[in-house]
Amino acid sequence: ETLGKGVGQRELPLPAGALKLTYHEFYTPSGRCVQRQYDQNKSKQSPRRHTNSDEVFYTTNGRKLGDRRGIQVDRRFKPSRSDLSELLSSSGAYYKYASQWSAKHPSAKLTDVDEAIYKDFRSFVLKEQQKGNLKLEEIFDDKHILQQMEIISKSSNDRDLSLQSLVKIREEIVKDLLTDFDLAKDIIKRELELNLLTRDLPDSVLIERGAKSDALVKEAVKILLDNNSYDTILNKNPT
C-alpha cells in the first residue's frame, strides 16, 4: 500500500518556533483526499484524527483503503533482488572497485561489463572479505548476535570448540551469499556497470541505460502496451 501522505507542507520559521503550513492536498480522481478519512455515510471528507487505524474504507469502484495506511495498489510487482548486491552497494564495495579499476585503466572507454571484469570483481570481493574490509555475514546479523556469541565463546569452558563452531557459521553464511554471483549475475553486473560508467557518461545517458534494464519500468511499459491492462487499471476505473 502507499504511505498515505496526502498533503504538501512547508515549515515557516517564527520568533518562538515554527509554523507548519499545508499548501496543497492530494486527491484521487473520484475526489477523495488521501490524507483524510473517507466516510461512506457522508459526502464530506472528515479529518483523519482520532480514527481507528484498523478501519477499512472502500472507494466507489471497490478499491480497499485502510485508514492511515494509504491506498491499496491495483497491481503488485516484486522485482528480483539480491542480498549480496545490496550489501556490496551499502558497504561501498562497488564504488571502491570502480575507483580502483578506473585508476588502473585511465584511458579505457568502457561500454559494458564483460566476463573478465565480472570475474575480476568477484575476486576483489573475496579478497576484501578475507582482509576483513567486508563482513558479508553481517547482512543476516543486524543485531550483532554473532559478535555476542564470540564474546560468550571466549569465556566458555570449551573456548576453542565454540570459536571453531562460530567460524564455521560465518563461513556458511558467506558461502551462501556468494552463490548470488551466479544466481543474481544480471543484477550484480548491472550495478557494477553503473558504478564503472558513472565516471565517463553524463547522468542523462546513465538514466536512459538504467531505465532500459529496470524491471519496474519494463512492467509499466508492458501495461501500457496491453490495452486490456491499461483500460482496467489506468483508464476506466478511476478511484
pLDDT higher than 60, residue 22:
yes
- Computed over every residue of the chain, the mean pLDDT equals 76
Confidence of residue 10 (pLDDT cuts 50, 70, 90): confident
Average pLDDT over residues 143-172: 64
Higher pLDDT, 50 or 127: 127
pLDDT higher than 80, residue 102:
yes
Average pLDDT over residues 196-219: 83
Closest C-alpha among 84, 117, 99, 131 to residue 198: 99
Task: Note the helical H segments in 53-114.
Answer: 83-90, 93-104
Contact 117, 101 (CB under 8 A): yes
Say what the pTM is. 0.60
Half-sphere exposure of 210 toward its Cβ, with a 13 Å CA cutoff?
Answer: 14
